[in-house]
A and B are shown apart, each in its own frame.
Chain A
Amino acid sequence: MGDNKMLDNFFDVVRRRFNGNNDDDTRETVKCPRCTSLILLERYEELHRVCPNCNYHGRLSSPERIEITFDKDSFCELDANMISCDPIDFPEYPEKQQELRDKTGLHDAIVTGTATLKGIPAVVGIMDSRYMMGSMGSVVGEKIARAFEYATEKHLPVILFTASGGARMQEGIVSLMQMAKTSGAVKLHSEAGGLYITVMTDPTTGGVTASFASLGDIIIAEPKVLIGFAGRRVIESTIRQRLPEDFQLAEFMQEHGFVDMIVDRKRMKNTLAHLLELHGYTAKEA
C-alpha cells in the first residue's frame, strides 16, 4: 500500500515534467477524479472546476455555483439561519456539525432562496457537498419543502442543483422521512402547474436520487457526474465483481432514460433561462 502511494507520487512528478511544468514545480496541481490527468489548480479554477482533458464537471461550493449561474446580486437567501437539532441523540453529532459550520461557513448542506436568470425569477436551491457530503437531514428536508411551498404560493418555477451522498445517517429514521416530506412538496407544486428543473451535479445518490432529485419535470446533469441509488461499493460487494468505469455516470443514466440532457457548466445559465421562458415565465418588470 505504502509502496503504491510512493509509485503514484513518482508518476505524478514524471507526468508533471512531461506536461512542461518542470520549470515551476511549486505550482499546485489537482488530479481529475475521472481521467486522473493532472491539472494546474489555477487553470482548474479558471475553468470553474471542469477537467480540460475529459470534461468531468467537478464539485463547486454553493457560493461559486450561485456566482456563475444567477444574475449578479440577484440571489436572496431564504431560511438562512436554520440549523439541525439531534433527533436521535447521535454520539458527537452536534459537535461535528459545529465544527463543519465553523469550517465551511454553511449552516447545513443546502442553501435556498430566490434569484433571477436573465431577469426571470425562480426559487432555487443549491446543495453543497462540503457539508457532510451533502446528506439530507431535517434542515435539508425542511428548506426544500419550504422552497417548494413558497414557489407554489408565488407561482414560481423551482431549480435545484443536487449534490448528495443521500440520507444523513446521524438523523436516522428522521432523515428517511425527509424523502417523503420533500417529494410531497414537489408533488403539490407540480399539481399546481409549477415547473421544476433538477440539475444533477457530482454526486447525486441514495435517498436524494430516490426522492426530489428524480422528480423534476426536466432533469439536467453535468457531464461525467456520478448519479445513482446504491453506492458502487455496495453493489460490488453484492454481485462480487468490479463495475465498469462508466457505470452510474451522467451519460450512463441518460442512455438508460433517466436524464433529459447533459449540459456543460458554461451553457447552464442560458439553458435554464431558455427553459423557463419556454414555460411562459418572463422577466420581472424593472
Chain B
Amino acid sequence: MDEKKTAWECLNLVHTKGRPTVRDYIPMIFDDFFELHGDRSYGDDKAIIGGIAKLDGTPVTVIGQVKGRDINENKACNFAMPLPEGYRKALRLAKQAEKFRRPVICFIDTPGAYAGIEAEERGQGEAIARNIAEFMTLRTPIISIVLGEGGSGGALALGVCDELAMLENAQYSVVSPRGFASILWKDASREEEACNIMKITADDMVRLGVAEAIIKEPVGGAHNDLDKISENIKEYLVEKIAEKCKKDIDELLKARYTKFRKIGEFTE
C-alpha cells in the first residue's frame, strides 16, 4: 500500500509522461470500437473522442477527452481542451445512445475547456450548460471516470452521471490549481500552494459526495502497468453498468438528480 500522497504529488503524477490516455484505454477495455466524428453543425473536435463499442458483450457509447502522448499529439488534440463543437459532439452521441438504449461511459481528462476567441464566438458557455442540463435527464445509464485531470466546467460537461469514479491519483477541481492561484492571488506561480488547499484528490471527492468510487492504480501510478489499471477500470465498469441497467429508468433519473441536488453546505 502506497503512502497517502499530497494533492501536489498526485498532480505531478498525472502529468507524468507516459500516463495512459483514453486512447490507450479504449482498446484495452472495449471490443469493436467504432469512432464516430463530428457535431453535425460545425466540425470535429479532436479533443473529444467518441464512438460505439462493446463492453463485455454489451453495446455502449464511449466519450472521452483526449490527451496527447507527445507534443505532436498534444497539438492535434489541443492539450485536451475541447471547443464547443467537442461538447456538441459528445451531446449528439449521448442522445444517440439514449435512442438505442445504450449506456454511456465518459472518460474525463482535461485541464479545462479551451479559452480562446473562437471558443467564445461559438458559445463555450452555452455548449457546456446544454450538456450539463441534457445529461441530467438522459434516459440511459451514465458512468463517468476521471482519468487524470478534471478541470472546471470543461470536465463537468462530461461529468453529470449516475456514478462518478476517480482513478486513485486523479483530481477534480473547480479550476486548475494554476488558474486558481492566478484568479485568487494574481500569481500563477503559487500553483503548489493552491493545489494543496483546494481539496481536489480522489479521497476529497468521495468525502464531499462528488464521487462514489476510487479505482486503484498500480504501485507508482497507472503508467507502471497499463494491463492492470485497464483491468481495474473494466471490472468496475462491467459491474456498475449491469447494476444501473437493472434499475427502472425513472428511479435512476431521480437518483441522478438527487446526487447533485444534495451537494452544498449552508445553514438557515
Chain A positions near chain B (C-beta within 8 angstroms) = 79, 81-91, 137-139, 141-142, 145, 167, 169, 171-181, 183-188, 190-191, 206-207, 209-215, 228-231, 234-235, 238-239, 243, 247-248, 256-258
Cross-chain contact of B205 among A82, A173, A187, A211 (Cβ < 8 A): A173
Shortest Cβ distance from B121 into A: residue: A256
A176:B152 contact, CB within 8 angstroms:
yes
A229:B113 contact, CB within 8 angstroms:
yes
Chain B positions near chain A (C-beta within 8 angstroms) = 113, 115-117, 119-126, 128-130, 132-134, 136-137, 152-153, 156-157, 159-160, 172-175, 179-180, 182-184, 197-200, 204-205, 208, 210, 257, 260-261, 263-268
Classify the secondary structure of A's interface with B.
helix
B268:A81 contact, CB within 8 angstroms:
yes
A229:B156 contact, CB within 8 angstroms:
no
A247:B120 contact, CB within 8 angstroms:
yes
Chain A neighbourhood of B159, CB < 8 A: 180
A-B contact pairs, 14 of them (CB 8 A): A79-B268, A85-B266, A138-B266, A139-B264, A142-B266, A167-B174, A174-B264, A176-B152, A176-B173, A206-B153, A210-B153, A212-B129, A230-B124, A247-B117
| Closest CB pairs A-B (n = 8) | A230-B115, A209-B125, A138-B264, A85-B265, A229-B125, A214-B129, A210-B128, A229-B124
**Other 20 A-B pairs with CB < 8 A, given A83-B268, A183-B133, A211-B129:** A82-B266, A87-B208, A171-B174, A172-B173, A172-B198, A172-B200, A173-B210, A176-B156, A176-B173, A177-B210, A177-B263, A183-B129, A184-B160, A207-B174, A209-B126, A210-B124, A210-B153, A213-B125, A229-B119, A257-B123
B120:A228 contact, CB within 8 angstroms:
yes
Q: How far is the CA of A214 from the CA of B266 in the complex (A)?
A: 25
B199:A172 contact, CB within 8 angstroms:
yes
A-B contact count (CB 8 A): 185
A138-B265, A256-B123 known; A180 vs B132 contact (CB < 8 Å): yes
A79-B268, A211-B132 known; A169 vs B113 contact (CB < 8 Å): no
B199:A173 contact, CB within 8 angstroms:
yes
A172-B198, A211-B132 known; A86 vs B123 contact (CB < 8 Å): no
Chain B neighbourhood of A183, CB < 8 A: 129, 132-133, 136
B174:A175 contact, CB within 8 angstroms:
yes
Chain B neighbourhood of A247, CB < 8 A: 117, 120
Chain B neighbourhood of A90, CB < 8 A: 197
Chain B neighbourhood of A190, CB < 8 A: 133
B264:A210 contact, CB within 8 angstroms:
no
Q: How far is the CA of A167 from the CA of B113 in the complex (A)?
A: 15
Shortest Cβ distance from B183 into A: residue: A169
Q: How far is the CA of A81 from the CA of B266 in the complex (A)?
A: 10
Chain A neighbourhood of B134, CB < 8 A: 187
Q: How far is the CA of A89 from the CA of B208 in the complex (A)?
A: 12
Cross-chain contact of B125 among A83, A176, A228, A235 (Cβ < 8 A): A228
Chain A neighbourhood of B153, CB < 8 A: 167, 176, 179, 206-207, 210-211, 229
Chain A neighbourhood of B172, CB < 8 A: 173
B160:A180 contact, CB within 8 angstroms:
yes
Question: How far does the Cβ of A36 sit from chain B's closest Cβ, in whole Å?
Answer: 23
Chain A neighbourhood of B204, CB < 8 A: 88, 173
A235:B266 contact, CB within 8 angstroms:
no
Chain B neighbourhood of A87, CB < 8 A: 208, 264-265
Q: How far is the CA of A126 from the CA of B134 in the complex (A)?
A: 25
Shortest Cβ distance from B157 into A: residue: A210
